[in-house]
Amino acid sequence: MEKFTIVEWESKGVLLFGKEKRNWNFQCPNCFQVQSVEDILKDGFPPNLAYTYCRNCNYRAEKGTFGKGKLISLDPAQEVEIFDFA
51 vs 59 by CB, closer to Zn ion: 59
Residue 49 found at the interface with Zn ion (CB under 5 A): no
Cα angle, residue 51 at apex, residues 69 and 22 outer, rounded to 5°: 135
Check: CB of residue 80 under 8 Å from CB of residue 5: no
Q: Binding to Zn ion by residue 56, rule CB under 5 A?
A: yes
Asked if 30 interacts with Zn ion (CB under 5 A), we say yes
Among 37, 40, 49, 54, binds Zn ion (CB under 5 A): 54
Least distance in angstroms from the C-beta of 34 to Zn ion = 10
Cα gap 10→15, rounded to integer Å: 9
25: left (phi over 0), alpha (psi -120 to 50) or beta: beta
Per CB under 5 A, residues contacting Zn ion are: 28, 30-31, 33, 54, 56-57, 59
